[in-house]
Structure 1
Amino acid sequence: MDDEDGYFSESIAAGYDRSAADMFRPEVVDPAVDLLAGLAGDGAALEFGVGTGRIALPLAARGVPVHGIELSRAMANRLRDKPGGDEVGVTIGDFATTRAPGEFTVTYLVFNTINNLTTQDAQVDCFRNAAAHLAPGGCFVVEVGVPQLRLLPPGQTAVPFTISPTRWAFDTYDVATQAMSSNYVTVVDGHAEHWSLPFRYVWPSELDLMARLAGLRLRDRWEGWSREPFTGESRGHVSVWEKPAGRQSGFSSESPHRS
């Protein structure tokens, strides 16, 4: 694995769109793009973890200037090779701390990407970084699942979410540390291939506190991009935090951040 690309190396990037094909369906993408375009208004959008452009490309096609921050050069190269890829600027780096040029009316993280930051400090830094990129009145949007700990009986640490003759996938949880991992086993020509990705799960209330530390306030929370009500049974949420008008930066001189 190429350390520079983190867990999304060339071998993963090459098959990413195929492995996540369900997330590229119009009925999944269009509601997200509609909501983000509305929040962007006449301004620009910044995607943290832009990947291969699943959301960035159709958002740019709607006339919204889009920039992305992406750690994996392999994933960014896939974006650039797609039609319209040259319209989306990409800054290579860790989206928890990397600065992109310009000011934005919306920054966003989709498809559980906030969990790719595997420490609480990094997730707090991410909120501060989002706030620092936002114009006053701008919004930070996060799409992420609600931890499914209710599915764990005593003594069990794994929850399967895909079972087929050629593919098995399951999440593992450590309820003491909030560490988790998603694990994929794929059978190709009779041989099993395994890929594991570490995460840190995070609760909606914890995200709200991170937002407050960054000077943001909760504006909306829905179960999904179509703005269904968020309830105690929801397995995910789309949350929108707003930067108050007149606030110029998400950082203060005394705010701790990683180098």
Structure 2
Amino acid sequence: MVMDSSAEQRERWDRIAADWSPDEAVETAATAPMIDFLAELAGDGPALEFAIGTGRIGVPLARRGVPVAGIDVSPAMVEVLHSAMPAAELPVTVGSMATADAPGRDYQLVFLIANAITCLLHQDEQIACFQNAARHLRPGGYFVIQVWVPQLRQLPPGQTVVPATATDTQLIFDSYDLVTQRLLCHHYALENGVVVSPGTSHHRYVWPSEMDVMAKLAGLDLVNRYAGWDQAEFTGDSNSSISIWQKPNRS
């Protein structure tokens, strides 16, 4: 039986949805390289986004002419998305990306970005996510994941906390549990040096090599791995990975 963290994630993302606007589901200079990358792999589609959320990427990709569908655990996030693009143009299934069914089984691209794979808090959920992607893909189709690389090399002996972001407006640090492979992300919004919005989120971090095993279990083959959407080389110093696996063509 697959462990299920969807109830915890639904509560979290339903709460966060109140801070999102449909006006954010537009292509920007920052997101254009990502959308270019995904559009090239999708071709004439269709494409399926796991953890589509408010449609920050799925909606602009659909506006490029790629038919897009989505799966997301949060009804509130999906409601924001459908304020930007109606369900008739971008259908979304509410449920866990590890198990939920989207319409059809003939997608050229399934993609999962912004570290969302780590929101599945159990290894067997992450394995099931790969299997669900494979079920939805047509032969020759691609599965793409963008996720950070765990920064354990920054941990001196006995330390469990790594700083992630420190700016005038945001402070983020991550605490690692090396036994359970869990990570607790502590994030704080700042105004004039004062914390105005503290928060935490739970994750299960995953290694590129571990994802490759999950892909193999799902019958997917690694095509390439990059450090960023500009297709920079992935190295041992990369702190992020973009991985592409392919479902083999039928013989």
The two structures have a TM-score, normalised by structure 1, of: 0.86
State whether structure 2 residue 106 is matched by structure 1 residue 95: no
- 2:97 corresponds to 1:81: no
Which of the numbers 14, 18, 21 marks the counterpart of 1:9?
Answer: 14
Find the counterpart in structure 2 of residue 147 from structure 1.
Answer: 150
CA shift at 1:225, angstroms? 1.1
Using a 3 Å threshold, how does the CA distance of structure 1 residues 120 and 4 change in structure 2: closer, same or farther?
closer
Counterpart residue identity of residue 235, structure 1: N
What secondary structure does 1:58 align onto? helix
- Once residues 178 and 26 of structure 2 are traced to their aligned partners in structure 1, the CA distance between those partners, rounded to angstroms, is 31
**How is 1:1-259 mapped onto 2 (pairs within 5 angstroms)?**
5-10=10-15, 12-16=16-20, 26-82=28-84, 87-102=89-104, 103-164=106-167, 167-186=170-189, 192-246=196-250
SS in 1 for 2:29: helix
Name the residue aligned to 2:3. none
Q: Report the CA distance shift for 1:36/1:4 in structure 2 as closer, same or farther (over 3 A).
A: closer
1:15 maps to a residue whose letter is: D
Task: Give the letter for the 2:10 counterpart.
Answer: D
1:50 & 1:36 partners in 2: Cα distance?
A: 14
Decide whether aligned partners of structure 1 residues 154 and 180 sit closer, same or farther in structure 2, where only a CA change above 3 A counts.
same
Equivalent residues, number? 242
Letter in 2 for 1:92: V
**Structure 2 spans left out of the alignment, 5+ residues:** 1-6
- Paired residues of 2:26 and 2:59 also in contact (CA < 8 A): no
Contact 1:69 1:95 in 2 (8 A): yes
Residue type of the partner of 1:53? G
- State the Cα deviation string for residues 124-177 of structure 1 (Å, max 9, x = none): 000000000000000100000110111111222112223355543211111122
**Distance in structure 2 (CA, Å) of the matches to 1:163 and 1:4:** 26
CA distance in 1 between counterparts of 2:37 and 2:168 reads 37
CA distance in 2, matches of 1:193, 1:59: 31
Residue aligned with 1:42, SS:
coil
Distance 1:215 1:233 in 2: 29
| Contact 2:27–2:60 (CA under 8 A) maintained in structure 1 | no
Deviations 1:105-139 (A, max 9, x none): 00000010000001110000000000000000001
Q: Deviations over 1:52-91 (max 9, x none)?
A: 1111011001100000000011111111112567521110
Alignment RMSD:
2.4
- The structure 1 segments of at least 4 consecutive aligned residues displaced by more than 4 Å after TM superposition are 83-86, 187-192
The separation in 1 between residues aligned to 2:86 and 2:32, in whole angstroms, is 17
**2:31 alignment partner, SS class:** helix
Runs of 5+ consecutive residues of structure 1 not aligned to the other structure = 248-259
Cα distance 1:149–1:24, how it changes in 2: closer, same or farther (>3 A)? farther
The question of whether the paired residues in 2 share the 8 Å contact of 1:80 and 1:86 is answered with no
SS state at 1:218 partner: strand
